[in-house]
Amino acid sequence: MIRLNHPLPALILLAALISPALSVPARADSADAIAGRAIATNDGGAIYRTLCQGCHMADGRGAVGAARFPALAGNPKLAAAGYPAYVVLNGFGGMPWFADKLSDTQVAAVVNYVRSHFGNHYADTVGPADIAPQRPAAEAIRPDID
């Protein structure tokens, strides 16, 4: 059995093993968790299942645990279609932004999907022309977007 007379070498070894894990950014810091994955569909349900379901759950009820993921089911904030569109483009709290990952058509599709599923029955829909005016705000916040 090896006995250490001083804890410093063990602490240095521990720091060397842990430091790479600490340098990895959290997934909520950006939408880079889907980097390299092309979202090739304009189907709002498919986009939801690919990008949103992991946090907001399959039933849209959200989750509470290590973090709080708001429910989309019955969420009164969805009454104004501009709100979820803005959040998808710009992110909010721990939610990443998707302005650089989704087209205006795709943002409109996923917003319309969320607003018409999970017990939500908002009849008015948004289209790409409704999303486009919100995109400059997202690009001003994230200047690295082409």
pLDDT at 14 over 90: no
Query: What is the CATH class of 26-141?
Result: mainly alpha
Sequence spans of domains, the chain: 26-141
Q: Determine the average pLDDT of the residues in 29-37.
A: 50
Residue 141 has pLDDT above 90, yes or no: no
Locus of tokens 């999907």:
113
What confidence tier does 106 reach under pLDDT thresholds 50, 70, 90? very high
Mean pLDDT over residues 56-60, rounded? 94
Mean pLDDT of 28-43: 63
Supply the pTM of this predicted model: 0.69
> What is the structure's pLDDT at 23?
44
8 Å CB contact between 142 and 136: no
3-state secondary structure 45-91: HHHHHHHHHHHHCCCCCCEECCCEECCCCCCHHHHCCHHHHHHHHHC
